[in-house]
Structure 1
């Protein structure tokens, strides 16, 4: 059990009285029972992180009250991890040569089976060839090179689309094979095109790392991200190493480790980096400040992210780093952060607006932010509406099979379970429990 300073209950009581609120009034504000709050104030019961954040916001404590409750150890929530130290995330490992460095821990290193390829609907697009380069056309090397690059860039776009609708463990081996194919192809191609193919292979590897995290395998996610950095460096792109810090910060965010999340994200905010990377880093740092309870720092980070992400995302034709299925990522993350800051009603209003703008068919994005939206409404005391939203999302959770979404889904389930007699909750309790059950 987490150790909690005896001072939390006393400080909660002091701040409540100072604010002129009765226990009944505070209970109505944070949507917890008066009895629960009374036990917490007298030290007979420990406060959870969720309640501490809600009380902190309700009493305008500026994060000081929430800081008295240790962050829940999220190690068991996000899946497997191989190292407890932030250093293992902050510093890339010593990379081997390209020939030795292909990550193999997740699903092995063998090519995908025909069943796996068909399962993700990619059989036709794989006709470009997984191991052999296309024949060259004499006298038109530039045209062939551009066509080759364009085809593989389109392929990555298709895989991102497929990834919105498919379980990640089905897609990872296919992406791994494509990364290997591109790396092999780059070694047989002219210097300029070879470098661009390596850069594209790095984007395939980075996306593979993200989907590995979605399976719950943090170790594989880190290895694929490190491999992406190595491929990018071999192509002459040193910036992806900084973006890798943003990716690693997402892992620590889902662990609930605020300080590590902020530190990693800050490492990718140097002025020499492209605006896209700095904007994504500012956004991730804001998320870290949110779980630390620092509203001011969070909002400043989001303001900086909006300015930076409003600039051109990068060279034309080059795959964009970060989310590609959000029309306004900063607004969506603002709503997300407000929930972490203990301001669920304000967060719900923004998430309502932004979730309505998610493109049709973007199931992974719809579920990710939809669950956070339902959580916001539940924390704001709107249990019936939260259950309605949850019921709509549950059929999609099996399709996307996201370990990171399950983190918020568990949080939502705990919040709804505080209302065991609510008819709306009883209607979804069984399918919600089933959605959280480990895969067979």
Structure 2
């Protein structure tokens, strides 16, 4: 079997859609000659080109991820063998702690594993241990990212489905187990999203929606629809995002967490900014802030990251969409100053975006400083593919400034870290 590459997948999807190179070129706004070279591997796609062909073929981020992998592999191939080995050791050390810790949490779910041929009785204590394990996994994801372990999370969600199908339990325990099954798929989808496996994330969220209907759980349905909206934000498909946000708000149960409603307003703001509606985007973000200020209820672990600083970070993303990099840089600096250090993955992401905003403001030294801080976090056990994809694009944009000493030094660090 031929390995999956950007060029081969682009060709396969183009042909499956019934396009020739010449008929597809205007749809993607990419020249015929460039498309040909992309498919044969003669040219490496920029992040912008990968996004354009991905959107035109409705590839749901698959081509974006493959393009990022290809750009990173070209950087690795240009490094001396000793540098690549050093980078591999660094990355292995960086991920070992997070991977081992999260794997230990996953095995906590195994405490109720059993032989399907000999079903066991599941009681409230078993469910409580499963629930605690999911909370630990959410907390580890906030701190480290968990892109490398999404497949284990999916397998564990499937295993809880098996528990529901063949184990023994009373009605109350069955209800809790069904709700837990939906939340396990939500966690698996979130981790898959962080791994840039949007196809898996979408499948997990849709599975959670199916479970929400079985459990008659508006809260779970709202959570799933809200995360499908988040996929739309990431793919920059504002109409899709707005549809899912509206559906999530309809599902939002009376008396539910104000925090969840605030998240939805924030995501609507992101979609409106991507549509170019600055005034409405600002109104939605302001409403999200005001709602969050009134939230005095318990905070579920999955929403522990959501704070005024997170809203500032998303407001910065809106500013970038609207072509206002200076405003974005100011908002990101504020967000990072206030962001809880427990949430390493999000802090690394916002540092990468700060670097991009500063670069758009013609501040390459400031961009290098932000990337250096992001690399410090990545080297301290953050394993998020989403962060690394964005970092690859910003590092590529920094290359023309490599004659500057701070830029050269941070790019050397970046290339070492990503050479594994």
TM-score calculated relative to the size of structure 1: 0.64
Q: 1:303 to 1:124 in 2, by over 3 A?
A: closer
Q: Residue 386 of structure 2 aligns with which residue?
A: 404
Aligned counterpart, 2:233:
253
CA contact (8 A) 1:269 1:282 kept: no
Provide closer, same or farther for how the CA distance between residues 4 and 188 of structure 1 changes in structure 2, counting only shifts above 3 A: closer
In the other structure, the counterpart of 1:31 is none
> Quick one: distance in 2 between partners of 1:258 and 1:295?
13
Counterpart position of 1:362 = 343
Corresponding position: 1:161 with 2:139: yes
User: Does the CA contact (< 8 Å) of 2:53 and 2:63 recur in 1?
Assistant: no
| Alpha-carbon contact 2:230-2:267 (below 8 Å) kept | yes
Worse-matched range after superposition: 182-191 or 420-429: 182-191
1:283-298 alignment runs, 5 A limit: 283-298=266-281
Which of 257, 263, 267 is matched with 2:243 structurally? 263
Give 1:395 deviation, angstroms.
4.8
Mapped to 2, the partners of 1:249 and 1:334 lie a distance apart of: 17
Aligned-partner SS, 2:168: coil
Deviation at 1:287, TM superposition (A): 0.8
Of 408, 418, 426, which residue of structure 1 is paired with 2:408?
Answer: 426
Query: SS at the partner of 2:339?
Result: coil
What residue in structure 1 maps to residue 181 of structure 2? 201
Distance apart, 1:409 and its partner CA: 2.1
* Distance in 1 between residues matched to 2:278 and 2:47, nearest whole Å: 16
C-alpha contact (below 8 Å) 1:313/1:320 kept by paired residues: no
8 Å CA contact 2:226, 2:248 repeated in 1: yes
Which whole-Å CA distance do the structure 2 matches of 1:154 and 1:370 have between them?
31
Q: Which residue of 2 aligns with 1:413?
A: 395
The change in CA–CA distance for 1:246 and 1:73 in structure 2 (over 3 A counts) is farther
SS in 1 for 2:210: helix
Superposed counterparts of 1:14-33, under 5 Å: none
* Partner deviation per Cα, 1:19-67 (whole Å, 9 max, x = no partner): xxxxxxxxxxxxxxxxxxxxxxxxxxxxx999xxxxxxxxxxxxxxxxx
Structure-1 residue corresponding to 2:86: none
Aligned with 2:328 (options 336, 343, 347): 347
Distance 2:286 2:168 in 1: 45
1:178 to 2:159 alignment: no
Question: Contact conserved, 1:254 with 1:407, CA < 8 A, in 2?
Answer: no
Distance in structure 2 (CA, Å) of the matches to 1:288 and 1:78:
17
Answer with 1 or 2: which has the greater Rg: 1
1:304 counterpart (271, 279, 287):
287
Q: Give the count of matched residue pairs.
A: 333
Task: Give secondary structure in 1 for the equivalent of 2:249.
Answer: coil
Gaps of 5+ in 1: 6-47, 51-70, 83-114, 137-143
> Matched residue of 1:256: which SS?
coil
Contact conserved, 1:182 with 1:201, CA < 8 A, in 2? yes
Following TM superposition, by how much is the alpha carbon of 1:156 offset from its aligned partner in structure 2, in angstroms? 1.5
2:359 is the alignment partner of 1:381: no
- Note closer, same or farther for the CA distance 1:307–1:193 as it changes in structure 2 (3 Å cut): farther
SS at match of 1:122: helix
Could you tell me how far 1:265 is from its partner in structure 2? 2.3
Distance 1:383 1:330, change over 3 A: same
Q: CA contact under 8 A between 1:78 and 1:216: conserved in structure 2?
A: no
For 2:248, what is the secondary structure of its paired residue?
A: coil
Name 2:199's counterpart in structure 1: 219
RMSD value, Cα = 3.9
- Equivalent position of 1:210 in the other structure: 190
Distance 1:386-1:117 versus aligned 2 partners, 3 A rule: closer
Higher mean C-alpha displacement, 236-245 vs 223-232: 236-245
Determine the C-alpha separation between the residues in 2 that align with 1:125 and 1:385: 43
Tell me the equivalent position of 1:228.
208
Q: Secondary structure at the match of 2:62?
A: coil
Give the alignment of 1:42-121 within 5 angstroms.
72=52, 75=55, 79-80=61-62, 118=100, 120-121=102-103
> Secondary structure of the residue that 2:338 maps to in structure 1?
coil
How far the C-alpha of 1:297 sits from its partner, in A, is: 1.3
Q: C-alpha displacement at 1:209, in angstroms?
A: 0.5
The within-5 A match list for 1:329-344 is 329-344=310-325
Q: How many Å separate the matches in 2 of 1:121 and 1:134?
A: 24
